[in-house]
Amino acid sequence: MSVSYQWNFSALDVELGPDADDHTDVVYTIHWRYSATDEEDPPHTATAIGTASVTWEDGDPWIPYADLVQSDIEGWTIEQITEEGVEAMQASFDAQIEEQINPTHETMRGDELPWNEGEGD
């Protein structure tokens, strides 16, 4: 099973500033979505959403808000979640997609409930 993974960043919370170092628009929270999709038609998908906190420390390089690119945000997010956390999400996504392809659980509703069998015909 071939699965691709993708980050999406829907919002950044920023401190307008200026801060003590005269920085403005300082990112402090990243709102992220991490998704997995297989190559089937139609595709099977799994998604996680969350936030990552960004903390600046003396000596960290400063990137002005207008110069940020998605890879900066992705790197900060992975740093906060950790590589192990990302690998755990990928393993969970793979299991969710496998469950969609070969279900081992099902929710029974309506006419499928034993006391409703045959009703509604």
Q: What is the pLDDT of residues 7-30, one digit of tens each?
A: 999 999 999 988 878 888 989 999
* Residue 16 near residue 25, CB atoms below 8 Å: yes
Determine the pLDDT at residue 61: 85
Taking the whole predicted model, whether its pTM rises above 0.95 is answered as no
Q: What is the mean pLDDT of residues 46-75?
A: 92
Is 80 exceeded by the pLDDT of residue 5? yes
Closest CA to 33 of 47, 43, 20: 47
- CB-count exposure of residue 82 (10 Å: 0-12, 13-18, 19+): exposed
